[in-house]
Chains A and B, each alone.
Chain A
Amino acid sequence: MAMPLKKSITCWLCILMLAMQTGSARAQSREYQVKAAFLFNFAQFVDWPAVTFADTNSPFCIGILGNDPFGQALDETVQGETIDNHKIIIKRSQTLDDLKDCQMIFVSQSEKGHITKILSDLDSKPILTVSEIEGFAQHGGGIDFYLAGTKVRFEINPGVAHSDGLKISAQLLSLGKIVQSAREDK
């Protein structure tokens, strides 16, 4: 029994080794596929003032500031979707000015050094800012992602969103961790 079995183990190993050399396909990581779905959800759980849209045909714009970690995942997520009858579009840019007509801006990790400037530029504008930079919401951003173990969680700063004229649904608030910006603590 033992000998043939050991031989078959050896063969089994060869097959595994062969199999290992064949993997190749590169796709966006699960983390960003999930985060893309979160962004789409945020858009549905937040109300923007009507003035943010030039007219009823204007698209709903999600901006990505800095290096895009989503790849195609975000495009595939919002493809064919609308928010209150506004078609969703994605804009990518390295400069904030290009994105100021967006309803939501995702601030990439690459902008970590500039968040104070970015947030002060966007202060009081009806734009929901989302980031995965640690402490982003506490610094005055709208929402930031963090990882709890292997799962995605988000912190939300309702004060900032509110002062910018956005209405955040109670459900979103109940699922996120509520934080306040440092300046509001005073």
Chain B
Amino acid sequence: MVAGVSISQAQDKSSDVVSTNANINKSSSAVEGPATYKKMSLEELMNQDVTSVARQPQPYGQAPAAIDVITGDEIQRSGASSIPEALRLADNLYVAQKNSHDWAISARGFNTDLANKLLVLMDGRTVYTPLFAGVFWDQQDYLLKDIDRIEVISGPGGTLWGANAVNGVINIVSKSAEETQGLYVEGGGGNWLQDFGAVRYGGTLATNIFYRAYLKYFDRGDEFLTNGDNASDAWRMGQGGFRIDNEAAAENRFTMQGDFYMGDENVPTGGNAHTGGGNVLGRWSHTFSDDSDMSLQTYYDRTHLADPIPANAVTLQPAGTLIDDLDTYDIDFQHRFHLGDRNNVVWGLGYRFTHEVDQPAPAVGFVPETLDQNLFSGFAQDEIMLVKNVFLTAGTKIEHNDYTGFEYEPSGRLQWNATPKQMFWGAISRAVRTPSRVEENERLPFGPPISAIFPNLLTGNTDFESEKVIAYELGYRAQLGQKISTSVSGYYNDYQDLRSTGINPVTLFPFTFQNNLEGYTYGAELSLDFQIFDWWRLHGGYDWLKEDIHVKPGQTDINNALNETADPENQFQIRSSMNLPKDIQLDTALRWVDAFQYNSSVAGTPASVPSYFEFDARLAWRLNKHWEFSIVGQNLLHDRHLEYVSPSPAPEEEIGRSVYGKVAFNW
């Protein structure tokens, strides 16, 4: 959606956040000072990240939200080789790798197998699937070198972004084609990331019309079973794409971009899963004046997944393949303008049409097999300057979806810029997670019931309603001197109508999804960045989370309220980034994740994943402006370790130590 194109486009004030954070929080190039800059070429100067302190009406204005920005440079320096790995850099996310190709990623808890409370956008295109209201992380990739930044907002973002932005929003923003001119080639390999390669070329089509095109592939090996055996879950994927930016006229900017990919995954329970898809997106941004602009965006996205489903011994269903094909058509409009001296208004309209076909496997399927859905949305938000340095942002989104009808997601945010470099904020928001096909349409098994007394094990419930949250947040963000910046946020979330799995009161089976969980979570997020010397930067992040989710009185949940939460109470990371002499970079990261409980079976018995420390490191040497050599080690402390378990036919898997080398060439 357009509002999601980037925070900086959604709210002009927030663009400070993005750039300020990118600078202070993440001053990635450790070189600084006039003496350094004056020696740089114009091209080098154009690549420097700067603050935009003076550009906006209120200096150091920031979005009143818990936002963490990962810069492209940080991604490069971390040695991350995929988007989920890059998301480990965000202090306000929980990232757990399940196997060679699957991750559980969430903010503020609810990091289950099918985490469904996070909205993820890539250049304004939503990549959440209406199949389970979550994200298939094994279908989201990009040439990481061309990612400008990843904005991670924890807390509800429903007012601007709409349904499913319940616990957070991840906004992956690629560089403009203007910023990726020339030839770039990378390649390498190692023990798990066995081999990979990418090529990108950027040029101009005419004056101020820029393009780039890229191709990439990788070949990832197997992870491990808990007994140390090979898990047979290798993953191969290829992707390509393009982007064209027409910047010929300052007041009209046009972007067109697209990607396509194909992947193939070995599945531990047997067979291969195939993924494939593509998208094309066009966006027109028009500036009426300094105080008013609009954008119109439309895209088409197609995804294909063929997943081998093993035979089910309970329901006596043979093995088969579940095939999901989804076509999404989306159009969004957004307009921002100033009203008088005190009001900054953003409003927008959107429409999305999805056509999803699910061909069942005997053990699992969806009824109806083909589902067309319409989603209408509109939002309006006003940022009002109450007095100097105090801003109130109030607005709501209203959506209409085919499952539950109208949904509204209002929020009110108060921001106080206490000093030019310190900001306090607070917010109250409501957000909803609308139903997905899993809750409404699932059939388990799909094949003929084995007997009249033992029909389906589980069926979808077309009366399933949206999950709701009311979130209360407080935060503080500051740049303390030239060297230290920090962000602290705290939250209390009150959840209603969370998903439960209930029994049939008469026949026991089939189970159905119901809205019989409720409860609350609270916690805090802390981030601190310390540029100790020009050449050495330290960064620390810490999350604390308490969850109390329980079954509503008098209701049942076969999972005993354990199926929605599998989250550590504490986690922290410390990252160090050093620029050493002779153009050598050394980056290291230590993370610790607390033990957490998960639902070990459908009987609702808890088991736990132990806490763990892990350590990543990257050593890079830049020979000259064309060549860079690096070696990356990930999860170096253990031969293998467990990060996540979910109750499913798939065996538990442990993640191994991995090392890879990389050569990059830039011309």
Are the C-beta atoms of A38 and B42 separated by less than 8 Å?
A: yes
In the assembled complex, the Cα of A30 lies from the Cα of B247 at a distance in Å of 26
B residues in contact with A50, CB < 8 Å: none
Within 8 A of B (CB), among A1-32: 1-2, 5-6, 9, 12-13, 16, 19-27, 29-32
Are the C-beta atoms of B38 and A31 separated by less than 8 Å?
A: no
Within 8 A of B (CB), among A137-174: 138, 147-153, 155, 171-172
Question: Is B135 in contact with chain A by the CB < 8 A criterion?
Answer: no
Question: Is B149 in contact with chain A by the CB < 8 A criterion?
Answer: yes
B residues in contact with A41, CB < 8 Å: 41-42, 45
Report the contact-size class of chain B (Cβ under 8 Å from the partner): 35 or more
A residues in contact with B483, CB < 8 Å: 23, 25
Q: Interface of chain B, helix or strand or loop or mixed?
A: mixed
B540: contacting residue among A1, A16, A132, CB under 8 A: A16
Question: Is B18 in contact with chain A by the CB < 8 A criterion?
Answer: yes
Question: Is A83 in contact with chain B by the CB < 8 A criterion?
Answer: no
B residues in contact with A26, CB < 8 Å: 481-482
A residues in contact with B290, CB < 8 Å: 134-135
Are the C-beta atoms of A81 and B50 separated by less than 8 Å?
A: no
- Most interface-central of B53, B250, B290 (chain A CB within 10 A): B250
B residues in contact with A84, CB < 8 Å: none
In the assembled complex, the Cα of A23 lies from the Cα of B480 at a distance in Å of 5
Are the C-beta atoms of B40 and A19 separated by less than 8 Å?
A: no
Are the C-beta atoms of A149 and B148 separated by less than 8 Å?
A: yes
Question: Is B528 in contact with chain A by the CB < 8 A criterion?
Answer: yes
Are the C-beta atoms of A151 and B34 separated by less than 8 Å?
A: no
Question: Is B572 in contact with chain A by the CB < 8 A criterion?
Answer: yes
**Nearest CB of chain A from residue B180's CB, rounded to whole Å:** 12
A residues in contact with B53, CB < 8 Å: 29, 31
- Most interface-central of A20, A132, A150 (chain B CB within 10 A): A150
B37: contacting residue among A1, A77, A135, A179, CB under 8 A: A77
- Most interface-central of A31, A35, A77, A78 (chain B CB within 10 A): A31
Question: Is A82 in contact with chain B by the CB < 8 A criterion?
Answer: no
A148: contacting residue among B23, B176, B481, CB under 8 A: B176
Q: Taking CB as reference atom, which chain B residue is nearest A78? A: B38
A residues in contact with B280, CB < 8 Å: none
B484: contacting residue among A19, A30, A155, CB under 8 A: A19
A147: contacting residue among B19, B37, B572, B611, CB under 8 A: B19
Q: Taking CB as reference atom, which chain B residue is nearest A44? A: B42
19 cross-chain CB contacts under 8 A: A2-B594, A20-B478, A23-B482, A30-B49, A30-B50, A31-B23, A33-B37, A36-B34, A37-B38, A40-B38, A76-B34, A147-B19, A149-B148, A149-B173, A149-B179, A150-B51, A152-B48, A175-B46, A177-B208
Chain A residues within CB distance 8 Å of chain B: 1-2, 5-6, 9, 12-13, 16, 19-27, 29-38, 40-41, 45, 69, 72-74, 76-78, 81, 109, 132, 134-135, 138, 147-153, 155, 171-172, 175, 177-179
